[in-house]
A and B are shown apart, each in its own frame.
Chain A
Amino acid sequence: MAVSYGWAGKILRVNLSNGRITTEDTNKYKDYIGGMGIGYKVLFDEVPVGTHPHDANNKIVFGTGPLTGSGAPCSSRTNVTSLFPTNPKHMVADSHMGGNFAASMKYAGYDAIIVEGKARGPVWLRIEDDKVSIEDASKMWGQGIYNTTALVASEMGKEASIAAIGQAGENLVNLSVIMNGYSHSAGGHGSILGAKKLKAIGIIGTGSLKIAGKAKDLLDTNSYMLKELIGANNNHVVPSTPQPWAEFDSKGSRWTAQKGLYWGAAEPPVETGEIPPGDITTVGLRTQKGVKDLGPVAEKYTKRMGGCQSCPIRCFSQLEIPQLEKFGVSRFVSNTCMGYSAPNGVMIKGTVDQFEKDDGTFISKTLGSQLADDYGVWCNYGMLGREFKYIYESGKLKEVLSEEEYNSIPFELLEAGDPAFLKDFYRRITFKEGEFSHLGDGTYWIAQRWDLGDDFWHGKAQKIWSPLGYPVHHSNESGAQVGALISCMFNRDSQSHTHQNLIQSGLPADILREVSAEIWGSEEAFDFPAKYTPMNEYKAKFAKWSIIRNVLHDSLTVCNWMWPMMVSPVKARNYRGDTALESKYMSLVTGENYTEESLDLAAERVFTLHRALTVKQMGTLDMRNEHDVIMDWVYDMDPEMEPFTEGTVKMEREDMQTALTMFYEEMGWDKKTGAPTKDTLNRLGLDFAARELESMNLLP
């Protein structure tokens, strides 16, 4: 067999209905790069319209790409593609997880794992290089993710990378995750594995990722990125406090390292310190995420930072909190961002101090993180808490629950700000106890079930973005129409961080506007924060580029929470990044000549295939009115203020329609409907999609 560079060269296909395990050549997916691209192609080709996510006919694709496991910084992301249970029409969506799993897939020899069919009883999938078997999981069924992982490791060996579902996934809770490495979770697809009766996948990979170029050049590129380009988490490139080496600082920056700030529970404590860029051996100290996510009280409990294979930016805080054992969970906690804040959102009356001053939310966040992660419950990017708040405070809950069930819920704990409430909350959802547990169905489904009306859908407090039942995720508050457009384009909350990284990088807006002009042709692409201007074509280019790079990263796979390198912490570079870095890595690793343009084109192909698949699954051309729709609160917030006046992030209805038109034009989609045209599909080599959509009368 010819040597494959970058790509492992094989895709593993496992049919759980008949036990067939086969491999196929990755080559046929190369135009789609990998990861997300492979996922969409498989779903487009192989999963019939109208399939329920939990049917045997649905497939789930664990995808990696040519850069996964290559040692390029931040390159161990698993892209998971399947039908999405929370989506009203069960359209395709992705979930993602970091950790070690993706890199292990590559070293075992696989670019993707396609799981199809449905096992008769609980199974787990054992992968040791080219030896693959379906194993009995009856002992694991019913266990949480932590025990399941330990059980698989005890069978395979300590070195196995293991992805598993918890009881929530088993019980077909829509809001459930697939997780590896204790806290790296792909949200929203756990129940797909549950329906397939696939409890876990364990991988040991002893093989190599081969690079076409010289290792020396790859190492030089790593060094260039780490010394000159990379910042802190989200590629924030200035520190959060004034420091002698830094020209700028920004309070919100995730570059929280500073004099006197420690990993306080390390032995001995490790000082993060004032650390100028240029030194590889301090990059991992820049982000003290414990205090960022959990407040100052977290410092003394922070053992270290953590994160994914190959990533020098450690964005997961790892804490030892002995007090947590009083709630019956482990004292050791690992998580980041929403993994902490979502459970705190459930504590809608706040949390009172538990063991020391100002530790209330700290305990709720860390306790909730433990509970949700072991059960494998997802939060729909924070919706779960906001929905609970709505039904509780509006009285809806009392209406839809029997008196007996309502009285069985310990609301007195909630009212008293006692985080023990979380134990009851997550248990009910995980085990589908009673009517209450339908909170785990997701936004759209509870609105249907409980007849929630306009004030639920359109109320600002719920932060629902779309009638498809997903929330704001760096939307209008992040770059005005840019974030708003991005949030309209997927079938779940947008996972694109490109625009957010730039906007929050910490550099002064003037510099960011210069950078914007260099990338998108005019500084008008970039609005000053909360000083928005009406739509213009450069914002459409900014939005398109952000999505295209996000899609590219999920196909390569590298982390869009860090990439692309638009800016740099280095003053001597005038803070300029290098947006061609993905293509430099790709050329070196694969030996094929990639340019920024050729990769962007490939990603445009992948994203347009997603759009074509969305049209196919919705059975309508009218994306503008059926899909790319925003809830009223986005237009009606701050009633006393006009859109485009300083201090408000509200959008304007007609302007947003203009924004959609401009975006469709940038994409080569039909201006009226927002559906991809035949010409565009053919231009991108998606002729097969054009033919299929034509046969369904779904071409504009």
Chain B
Amino acid sequence: MEEKSKKKFLERETTRREFLKLTGKGFGGAVISMSILSMLGCESQQTVAYALPSGLLLADASRCTGCQRCEISCTSIHDEKIQPFISRIKVSENYNFGNEGPRLDYYRQNGQFGNLSMSPETCKQCREPYCGRACPAGAIFADPKQGNARVVDTSKCVGCGACEEACPWHLPTIDPETKKSTKCEACGFCAENCPTGALRMIPWEDVKKAMRRNGYRFS
């Protein structure tokens, strides 16, 4: 497991950096740029295989206090157990050292051991979802019952982890207990249970407008 998780980690970092290099932007807690949004297909009006989602979960890093009640709420309602590792919103894994992990100057970087900024990561419900496109089993689909959020059909999921690897933020997670992928269905339950109102469901169309509002970040 040690080697596997180490490898997974290296791969993760590589994927993220490659992705950022394409955009020419560093990440470092800055508000996500419009060019990144374009890359995600948010700008494009072309015909796509996935129906447009209606809603999107946004995290306001300036209000996030790292209590992780979102992760608790998420896995309680979706998985009938408490398991932050598979939460569809990620707070705890970035708690101490931000999403980049510990660096030499960790005391200035995101995280509790750094600049005290939390790095909540939420699913962008991409127009052309990397996770869905990568899935060899076609298990990730736009679910009309969830406002066309990109949802895992667990009966089809083979637990290969391709979705997790493909996602630039590595948000889908394979549950080590069920071997099935877990990803955000934009249900908004975490937002209803955030004690500082740091999470909000917004209409998907409004994403750019929302991004411009001060303090709203895709971390």
Contact = CB atoms under 8 A, between A and B. Distances in A.
Contacts of A214: 80
Interface string A236-266: 0000000000000000000000000000001
B122 to A, nearest CB: 16
B98 interface: yes
A281 B93 contact: no
Interface string A95-115: 000001001000100000000
Interface stretch (B41-49, B62-70, B129-137): B62-70
Interface stretch (A52-60, A303-311, A357-365, A552-560): A303-311
Contacts of A107: 83-85
Contacts of B73: 71, 219, 222
Interface string B74-102: 01110111111110000011111111111
A416 to B, nearest CB: 29
A304 to B, nearest CB: 5
Interface in B192-210: 192-197
B117 interface: yes
Interface string A298-325: 0000011111111110100011100000
Given A153-B102, A280-B192, A320 B116 contact: yes
Given A153-B97, A154-B101, A332-B107, A314 B116 contact: no
Contacts of B194: 280-281, 284
A306 B102 contact: no
A159 B93 contact: yes
Interface stretch (A200-208, A487-495, A658-666, A682-690): A200-208
Given A270-B62, A285-B196, A150 B106 contact: yes
A211 B176 CA distance: 17
Contacts of A307: 65, 67
A307 B195 CA distance: 12
A83 B194 CA distance: 40
A307 B93 CA distance: 16
Residue among A154, A157, A216 facing the most chain B CB atoms (10 A cut-off): A157
A332 B101 contact: no
Contact of A158 (B83, B84, B93): B93
Interface string A177-190: 00001100000000
A153 B92 CA distance: 13
Given A267-B215, A280-B195, A304-B62, A314 B96 contact: no
Contacts of A159: 92-93
B51 interface: no
A334 B112 contact: yes
Contacts of A182: 96, 112-113
Contacts of B1: 128-129, 131
Given A71-B72, A128-B2, A131-B2, A205 B112 contact: no
B115 A153 contact: no
Contact of A215 (B81, B85, B176): B81
A153 B116 contact: no
A181 B66 CA distance: 11
A149 interface: yes
A270 B214 CA distance: 12
Given A150-B106, A282-B197, A332-B114, A208 B177 contact: yes
B199 to A, nearest CB: 9
Interface in B159-208: 176-177, 191-197
B9 A149 contact: no
A303 B29 CA distance: 15
A150 B102 contact: yes
Contact of B195 (A149, A153, A181, A284): A284
B155 interface: no
Nearest to A206: B85
A330 B94 contact: no
A266 B63 contact: yes
A584 interface: no
Contacts of B195: 226, 280-285, 312, 314
A357 B9 CA distance: 48
Nearest to B111: A158
A137 interface: no
Contacts of B9: 157
A69 B67 CA distance: 12
A208 B62 contact: no
Contacts of B81: 208-211, 215
Nearest to A281: B197
A70 B94 CA distance: 20
A146 interface: yes
A303 B117 contact: yes
Contacts of A308: 67
Contact of B116 (A157, A162, A312, A334): A334
A71 B67 contact: no
B77 A306 contact: no
B215 A153 contact: no
A253 to B, nearest CB: 18
Contacts of A270: 62-63, 196
Contact of B96 (A70, A128, A181): A181
A304 B64 CA distance: 8
A218 interface: yes
A268 interface: yes
Contacts of A303: 116-117
A569 to B, nearest CB: 14
B76 A219 contact: yes
Contact of B68 (A70, A150, A160, A309): A309
A516 to B, nearest CB: 30
Nearest to A214: B80
B112 A69 contact: no
A154 B96 CA distance: 11
B202 to A, nearest CB: 15
B63 A215 contact: no
A128 B5 contact: yes
15 contacts: A71-B72, A71-B76, A107-B83, A157-B5, A158-B93, A207-B176, A208-B79, A208-B81, A267-B62, A267-B214, A280-B195, A284-B195, A306-B66, A311-B67, A332-B107
Closest 10 CB pairs of A and B: A284-B195, A208-B83, A312-B195, A158-B101, A71-B72, A159-B93, A284-B196, A208-B81, A206-B85, A281-B197
Given A71-B72, A71-B76, 20 more contacts: A100-B92, A103-B68, A129-B1, A151-B102, A153-B96, A158-B100, A161-B96, A205-B85, A206-B85, A268-B215, A280-B193, A280-B195, A281-B196, A282-B195, A284-B65, A303-B117, A309-B68, A320-B115, A330-B107, A332-B114
